[in-house]
Amino acid sequence: MDGERLTIAVTGLNATDNPGPGVAVIRALREAPGFAGRIVGLAYDTLEPGIYARDLVPDVFLLPYPSQGIEALEARLRYIHGRIPLDAVIPTLDSELPSFIALEGTLSELGIGTFLPTREQFDLRAKAGLPALGERAGILVPASRVVTDVEALYGIHREIPYPLYVKGLFYGAALACSVDEAVQAFHRVVAQWGLPVIVQTRVDGEELDVVALGDGRGGLVGALPMRKTWLTDKGKGWAGVAIRDPELEAMAVRFMAATRWRGPCELEVMRDRQDRYHLLEVNPRFPAWVYLAAGAGLNLPWATALLATGREPPPLGPHRVGTMFVRISLDQIADIADFERMATAGELGGGGRTG
């Protein structure tokens, strides 16, 4: 099959004020030179805005939530594959990745390609293990401690001074400037994400990010460094600019060499006032701003789709420094009949859309 005719499924259509990466990945795929394939959206909720972006995603199916187990996900993917034969799937959410990683062999037998980290790699970059990873890769990591009991917070300032961050294992981070704030943040994080909780020292400086794609053999397929220029009240990047930073790119190379990472990831970095680079987090998937990479000349989602189907992507040249993204909020018009069909049948497409 011609690479441009691939049918690719993408998750993460929750394009809210804290968007998932799916819509950005789909936009990058659609803008790959000569792409004339088919995009299938995979959503978890009937009100995920990307479902109703009709020009981007003509076919959409609901997936069971990760909490429903691997068997439910496998059954649903088999059904979808029976309706629309898939060549590849690109999961974009942290919470679903363990299930897709576990199903990689099954999906391969069905003819559905993926390009994901192993479970060992996925666990290696978890927040709880980040200090060990930093030591292994020769990368600075802020002082961190894994906490399973709120009592530990009353003496933690002896190891990690205030202000500090209280983080969930997968999502969420709250800045605490006192023990009372730390205890409150601990309970909020546990209520939302469970145990353990990670406490990490705050590093002041400039926030930087790198989106990267590893080949699974210790090499780097491509990477784009970005400086955030506008943050939301949740600390999410609403605007950013592609930069040239040899130290950031070297960090991505060291990370790939140390982990033999397979697939996309995002490195969240803080450059302190002494120009030292601290790795804050490693997200094991594309970030929501990945469309900037395609706009700057590095179409990493398309390279991922090709690798997932056993194809070698073309060499990725240098990116265009100074390319910016500025996120926009807009009201998307949809038909109530589409919403009703999504709510009752769990799918749109193949004659299922109105209009």
Task: Examine the domain organization and report whether 224 and 193 are in the same domain.
Answer: no
Among 170, 201, 232, the domain-final residue is: 201
Task: Examine the domain organization and report whether 226 and 318 are in the same domain.
Answer: yes
Among 155, 171, 201, the domain-final residue is: 201
Judged against a pLDDT cut of 70, whether residue 354 lies above it is answered with: no
Judged against a pLDDT cut of 50, whether residue 174 lies above it is answered with: yes
Judged against a pLDDT cut of 60, whether residue 99 lies above it is answered with: yes
Task: Examine the domain organization and report whether 59 and 72 are in the same domain.
Answer: yes
Helix/strand/coil for 344 = helix
- CATH number of the domain bearing residue 99: 3.40.50.20
| Structural domain contains residue 191 | yes
Task: Examine the domain organization and report whether 226 and 320 are in the same domain.
Answer: yes
Instruction: Please give the model's pTM, rounded to 2 decimal places.
Output: 0.92
For 137-146, the pLDDT digits (tens) are: 999 999 888 8
Alpha-carbon distance of 302 to 220, in angstroms, equals: 15
3-state secondary structure 11-75: ECCCCCCCCCCHHHHHHHHHCCCCCCCEEEEEECCCCCHHHHCCCCCCEEEECCCHHHCHHHHHH
Q: Look at the chain and report how many structural domains it folds into.
A: 3
Task: Examine the domain organization and report whether 210 and 322 are in the same domain.
Answer: yes
| Structural domain contains residue 252 | yes
For 265-314, the pLDDT digits (tens) are: 999 999 999 999 999 999 999 999 999 999 999 999 999 999 999 999 99
| Structural domain contains residue 354 | no
Give burial (CB, 10 Å; 0-12/13-18/19+) of 173. Answer: middle
Judged against a pLDDT cut of 90, whether residue 262 lies above it is answered with: yes
Judged against a pLDDT cut of 90, whether residue 351 lies above it is answered with: no
| Structural domain contains residue 130 | no
Rounded mean pLDDT, 336-348: 95
Cα–Cα nearest to 3, from 27, 42, 33, 24: 33
Judged against a pLDDT cut of 50, whether residue 1 lies above it is answered with: no
For 14-54, the pLDDT digits (tens) are: 988 788 999 999 999 999 987 889 999 999 999 999 999 98
Task: Examine the domain organization and report whether 166 and 217 are in the same domain.
Answer: no
pLDDT, position 3 = 53
Tell me which of 15-19, 120-124, 162-166, 172-176 is least confident: 15-19
pLDDT, position 77 = 98
- The whole domain housing 179 covers 143-201
Cα–Cα nearest to 309, from 117, 119, 116, 111: 111
- CATH number of the domain bearing residue 161: 3.30.1490.20
For 185-237, the pLDDT digits (tens) are: 999 999 887 888 999 999 999 999 999 999 999 999 999 999 999 988 777 78
Task: Examine the domain organization and report whether 317 and 210 are in the same domain.
Answer: yes
Task: Examine the domain organization and report whether 52 and 102 are in the same domain.
Answer: yes
Distances (CA, A) of 33 to 37, 118, 236, 302: 11, 30, 30, 10
Task: Examine the domain organization and report whether 7 and 85 are in the same domain.
Answer: yes
Task: Examine the domain organization and report whether 155 and 86 are in the same domain.
Answer: no
pLDDT, position 233 = 77
Judged against a pLDDT cut of 80, whether residue 89 lies above it is answered with: yes
Contact 244, 254 (CB under 8 A): no
| Structural domain contains residue 244 | yes
Return the higher-pLDDT residue of 16 and 107: 107
| Structural domain contains residue 159 | yes
Task: Examine the domain organization and report whether 209 and 300 are in the same domain.
Answer: yes
CB contact set of 88 (below 8 Å; sequence gap of 6+): 6, 7, 8, 9, 112, 113, 114, 115, 305, 308, 309
| Structural domain contains residue 134 | no
Task: Examine the domain organization and report whether 187 and 216 are in the same domain.
Answer: no
- CATH number of the domain bearing residue 284: 3.30.470.20
| Structural domain contains residue 154 | yes
Judged against a pLDDT cut of 90, whether residue 317 lies above it is answered with: no
pLDDT, position 271 = 96
Cα–Cα nearest to 45, from 64, 21, 26: 64
